[in-house]
Structure 1
Amino acid sequence: MENVLCERPESGAPEQAVIAHFRLGGEGFGGPGERARFFDAERAMSAAVEAAGVGEVDGNEFGGGEAVLYAYGPDADALFKVMEPALRELPLRPAYVVIRRGEAGDAEGLVSRVDL
């Protein structure tokens, strides 16, 4: 039986990334309202990314007064375009997005930052 949750298809294209950083209240994991808004936005972005077929929203991390959202796909610009409306609607600030074109650690890859 194939485990589709752990295996990624071999596409030949580098896996590019959109990594969004949001500041939370306090130094820890943010308040319940902040986390709820973040999770709602994450679900909306995941559905939009899946419907557009541009990649996947892969999860999040909370801690140190920050929430980080990770998304991956073959074209970081297309991925960001689909995610951007929900990223901008999320009221947690300051916030920024790192767009990585190329594989992680690729010296030829291009990384840019977009302030939200």
Structure 2
Amino acid sequence: MDDVLFDVPEASCEHAVIARFRLGGDGFGESDQRSRVFDAERALQAAVCAAGVGEVDGNEFGGGEVVIFAYGPAADALYRVMEPGLRALPFRPAHVVLRYGEPADGVMSERIDL
């Protein structure tokens, strides 16, 4: 007999794709830049949702850059779906970090320059 009250599956590990783009100026970028990011983010969310590989969780503007966050069970699969849309954004320099696991010291990650 088990001492477990409920048969709850272990939570799956959450991987991340974190894309960082340099924008004009030192603040939140120009209005047209923000608009392009919002359009791209909606397209990325639709593609990620359709592929069933995770979710695009939002963005963060400031300091002359934008960061787009996405999470799912497999960073590589998530990035494969997102890559065309991320590369289509014209803002450079830009890079993506694939994080293979929960945020913690020593978690494996990979940087990809766009």
**TM-score, with length taken from structure 1:** 0.88
Residue type of the alignment partner of 2:25 = G
Runs of 4+ in 1 over 3 A off after TM superposition: none
Gaps (5+ residues) in structure 2?
A: 1-8
Return the offset for 1:11.
Answer: 6.1
Residues 30 and 11 of structure 1, relative CA distance in 2, 3 Å threshold: farther
1:32 aligned residue: 31
- Aligned partners of 1:65 and 1:11: how far apart in 2? 40
Number of equivalent positions: 106
Give the 3-state SS of the residue equivalent to 2:91 in structure 1.
coil
1:111 aligned residue: 109
Cα deviation 1:51-95 (Å, max 9, x = unaligned): 000000000000000100000000000000000000000001110
Give the 3-state SS of the residue equivalent to 1:14 in structure 2.
coil
Residue type of the alignment partner of 1:77 = D
Give the 3-state SS of the residue equivalent to 1:69 in structure 2.
strand
**TM-score, with length taken from structure 2:** 0.89
Give the 3-state SS of the residue equivalent to 2:77 in structure 1.
helix
Give the 3-state SS of the residue equivalent to 2:28 in structure 1.
coil
Identity of counterpart residues, as a percentage? 65
2:62 aligned residue: 63
Output the aligned Cα RMSD: 1.2
- Aligned partners of 1:93 and 1:61: how far apart in 2? 16
Residue type of the alignment partner of 1:114 = I
